[in-house]
Amino acid sequence: MSEFEWDQIDQVVDVYPPTYYENAKGQRWAVVGGKWYTAKPNITLEEIRAKWVKPSRPKSNIKDAIHSVKSSDGSKMYTVTVVNGIKSCNCTGFGFRRDCKHVRSITA
């Protein structure tokens, strides 16, 4: 078990809310992020939480999506699928060129 000085750290990232452990002698350890931090005897949960940072989920700016796009003459619907940022369309033009106006009409 490695110990760290609580006062010397800026923040601790952890999904779980922090807690502290107190031994029989009144010594407290802040327990965050799977680590134990040596803390002052009277440290409070509020003080520990002040340095606690909840990790944000890694944001992917690309969303998988399915778009229905009308053909230019309005007679057909094409399906543009976006998976991992790769767009594809079920029209014949896309089948040949790997590009079409339906795919280009999707900007997201």
Binding site for Zn ion (CB under 5 A): 78, 89, 91, 94, 100, 102
Q: Which is nearer to Zn ion, 39 or 100 (CB)?
A: 100
Q: Which is nearer to Zn ion, 30 or 103 (CB)?
A: 103
Q: Which is nearer to Zn ion, 28 or 87 (CB)?
A: 87
Q: Which is nearer to Zn ion, 30 or 80 (CB)?
A: 80
Query: Distance (Å, rounded) from C-alpha 16 to C-alpha 55?
Result: 10
Burial category of 37 from C-beta neighbours within 10 Å (exposed 0-12, middle 13-18, buried 19 and up): buried
Query: Distance (Å, rounded) from C-alpha 99 to C-alpha 104?
Result: 8
Min. distance of Cβ 86 from Zn ion in angstroms?
Answer: 14
Min. distance of Cβ 84 from Zn ion in angstroms?
Answer: 19
Rounded to the nearest 5°, which phi and psi values hold at 20?
Answer: -135, 160
Min. distance of Cβ 108 from Zn ion in angstroms?
Answer: 16
Min. distance of Cβ 68 from Zn ion in angstroms?
Answer: 11
* Contacts by 73-81, CB closer than 8 A, 24 or more apart: 78/102, 80/105, 80/106
